[in-house]
Amino acid sequence: GVQMALKWILMHSEVSCVIPGAKNTKQLEENISASELTDLDPDVLKGVKIIYEKFIKPKVHHRW
């Protein structure tokens, strides 16, 4: 879940870096490995966008 979210963020050309939190070394290593994942499938990206637009954007986008 977290790695997919980080990869999704990193796939946006306007994003130069992501600064996630980590409570331990294992979480840090998992966060770092997200950048090495292959790009997400276009169908997955469409699904993520639908979820983002419906549930997340209304709650956070105004804060940017």
Residue with tokens 């639908």: 50
Domain residues for the domain of 26 are 2-63
pLDDT over 70 for what percent of the chain?
100
Residues 34-60: tens digit of each pLDDT: 999 999 999 999 999 999 999 999 999
Q: Per-residue pLDDT for 64 more than 80?
A: no
Q: What is the mean pLDDT of the chain?
A: 93
Angle between helices 2-10 and 25-33 (to 10 degrees): 40
Q: Specify the pTM.
A: 0.74
Domain count, the chain: 1
The residue among 51 and 63 whose pLDDT is bigger is: 51
Residue with tokens 């954007």: 57
pLDDT over 90 for what percent of the chain?
86
Q: What value, to the nearest 5°, has the Cα angle with vertex 53 and ends 49 and 59?
A: 135
